[in-house]
Amino acid sequence: MQDAPLVYLDTAGCGLISEPVRQAGVALYQMFESGSSGASEAWRALRYPEIKKNAARLMHAAVEQVAFLPNFSFGINALVHALKGDEKILLYRRDFPSLYLPFVRNRFAITWIDTQDGFHIGIEQIEAAIKAKGIDIVVISHVQWQSGFKIDLAQLGAICRQNNVLLFVDATQSLGAIDIDAQALPVDAVIASNYKWMNAGFGTGLMYLHPDLLDRYPPKFGGNAGTHFHWEGDRLQEEASITDYEPGSPNMFGLTVMNRAIEEKLLYGLPQTEQHNTRLTQVLLDRLGTLPVQLIGDRDTRNRASIVCIDAAPGLHEFLAQRNIVTTCRNGLIRISIHMHNTDVDIEALAEGIRDWEKAR
């Protein structure tokens, strides 16, 4: 049934790109066919500041608090190297590996937390570990990739503030789907890749840093020509800036694509996107309650984003793929992810596919 209508339920794996987003990148590179130097200088002078303003608006941050990155991994590794190395770190054992591997490989003192049910991460558990182990930094994903669990950043950040603990957040599975007010939240760093819920393709990411964090841990990385420095005689004077985290020779194509995706997000509205996704997720959870599958986590959206995981029963993922229903299957789970392009028709198509799979067994 490969000629069946596409039902794309895999934004958690990679987000779809709209035609206007694609065309934004094409238009930029068309200018490079005959006037590359002029086009690149114009981009740096005019487009870069505009894109930075849009990115800051998306994250509810000041322009000087936002950096352009190639991806999340680049950002977290650069930030790790700005630390002293003796900080005590709290990590979630089932988090995405690129979040915790930089701390493991740089031999930080790590306290691991885990869950009993594979879903809930108790903030009380984190608070207890902070106090018992003298934690300096909590590093965690806003939304968990293997379950869809969404941690309450306001509550967690408040606990971190009360205990003089820093909070670093991986927002790769939330930025673009959830309205993140970086300045209002008690967080110190928010980093995300853009190829999932931002619908912006590969090669770009965003970083927000609280000003106090930048002062406390000046960057050890130097990249963008916008880094603030000058020579006084034979002595180099420099001022830490978030642009230190931006690589030189910026990905003009990727950032142009990202900017068009941000414009679409702002036009539609992130609160509206979140409401849409939450409603459809609840529709899916209700439908799954009538189907022969095992759900991971709660049957409501209080503690989850629009990612839903079920046990990968034998043959189910393959059966859905034959129906042109795109999901992800890994670690014994089928992951279903719902975004702004999805409709009730998609949910019903998935439910019908599961019902037909059960009949065919």
CA distance 86 to 90: 13
Which residues are 285's β-sheet partners?
A: none
CATH topology of domain 7-17+269-360: Aspartate Aminotransferase, domain 1 (3.90.1150)
Q: So what's the pLDDT on residue 257?
A: 97
**Sequential DSSP letters for 23-35:** HHHHHHHHHTTT-
Whole-number average pLDDT of the chain: 94
Per-residue pLDDT reduced to its tens digit, 89-104? 999 999 999 999 999 9
Per-residue pLDDT reduced to its tens digit, 124-161? 999 999 999 999 999 999 999 999 999 999 999 999 99
- Of the CATH numbers 3.40.640.10, 3.40.30.10, 3.40.50.880, 3.40.710.10, which one belongs to the domain with range 19-268? 3.40.640.10
pLDDT band at 340 (very low <50, low <70, confident <90, very high): very high
Q: For the chain, give every domain's residue range.
A: 7-17+269-360, 19-268
- State how far the alpha carbon of 90 is from the alpha carbons of 106, 119, 137, 356, in Å: 14, 18, 6, 44
The one-character DSSP state at 72 is: H
pTM: 0.94
